[in-house]
Structure 1
C-alpha cells in the first residue's frame, strides 16, 4: 500500500533531511577545495573522488528538498516495525561500536571488528525478535562469521593496499 503526502507539515522533516544531505555535499566540496588536483596514475588526481561524492550529495540533497516542497515523497510506503524503539538492541549495537573504537589499538583490527560484529548482530537479532539468541551455537556462528569478514578486510587493506591498520602482532597477518 502506498500513500501520498498531502499534509504540508509532513514535508518539513523531509525538507530537513534534504537540507542535511545538501549541506553535507557542500561541506565536502569545501573540503575538496584544499586537496591537490595534480593528476596521478590513470589521469585523475586525489581530489576526484571527493568532488564526485560532493556533487552527487549536492544533487541528491537538492532533489530531496524539491520533492519535499512540491508535495512530499509520493508513493511512500507506510512505516513498518514497532511503534517504539527497541532500546536493548540499540545498547547492543552501541556497545559493539564503542568497544571496537576503544579496543582496536589494543587487540587489533580483526578481533575488535569481530567483537563489533558479534555484538551488533546480537542486538539486531534481539530487536527482530529471533529466538535462540542466547544459544552457544548462535554466538559461535556469529563469532566465526565476524572473523571471516574482518580478517580478509584486514589483509586486503594491509597487504594489497599498503594501508596500516592496527594488528595484534607485528607480523601483519593478525
Structure 2
C-alpha cells in the first residue's frame, strides 16, 4: 500500500484557516466600496480550507499523486537557487521597507528583484519600468482615496 500524503491536505486546511482567522480581524464590508479590506483574504482563506478538504477526500479515495511532466523541462532539471532567492527577497522586501521607504520605492525594488529572478539583465530598464508602474499605481490608488502614505516618506514628501 502506498503512503497517502494526508499531511498535504492538513497543511492546506491549516494554512487556509490561519489566513481566514487573521482576515477576520479586518473589516469585511465598507460603506464606500461595499467591500472591505478583509473580504478577499477571507475568501482566499475559505477557498484554501475547501480545497484542502477536497484534497483530503481525493487522498482517501486513493487518487495517486505523481509528478507531472512539463514540456520544456528535462529530467535532469535543477533548481536555480539564485532565482529562488531573488524572488524570496522580492516577497520579503515590503515587510522591511514599506514604512521607512514608502510604496513607490518598495514596489520598484520588488519589480527589479522579480525581473532579475526571471533572468532580466537590463536592471536600468527594470528600474525605470518599476518606478513608472509604481508611480502610476500610487497615483491611481491616491485618486481612489486609498492612502498609501506619502510619495517619499524619508524626505517628508
Work out whether the TM-score is over 0.5. yes
Listed as ranges, the gaps of 5+ residues in structure 1 are 1-6, 126-132
Q: Counterpart of 2:151?
A: 167
SS at match of 2:151: coil
Moved more, 16-25 or 80-89: 80-89
1:126-150 C-alpha deviation (Å, 9 max, x unpaired)? xxxxxxx54xxx2222122212322
Rate the CA distance shift 1:154–1:30 in 2: closer, same or farther, 3 A.
same
Superposition TM-score, scaled by structure 1 size? 0.62
Matches within 5 A, 1:116-127: 116-125=110-119
Find out whether 1:72 has 2:63 as its counterpart: yes
Aligned partner of residue 85 in structure 1, secondary structure: coil
Map of 2:54 onto structure 1: 63
Structure 2 gaps of 5+ residues are: none
| Whole-angstrom distance in 1 between the partners of 2:95 and 2:24 | 30
TM-score w.r.t. the length of structure 2 is: 0.67
**1:25 lines up with 2:16 in the alignment:** yes
Higher relative contact order (CA 8 A, sep 6+): 1
Give the greater-gyration-radius structure (CA). 1
Within 5 A, what are the aligned runs for 1:143-162?
143-162=127-146
For the residues of structure 1 that align with 2:98 and 2:27, how far apart are their CA atoms? Answer: 31
Distance 1:42 1:106 in 2: 29
Q: Does 1:102 align with 2:96?
A: yes
> For each residue in 1:82-117, what CA deviation from the matched residue of structure 2 results, as whole angstroms up to 9, or x when unmatched?
643212222333344444443333332112211221
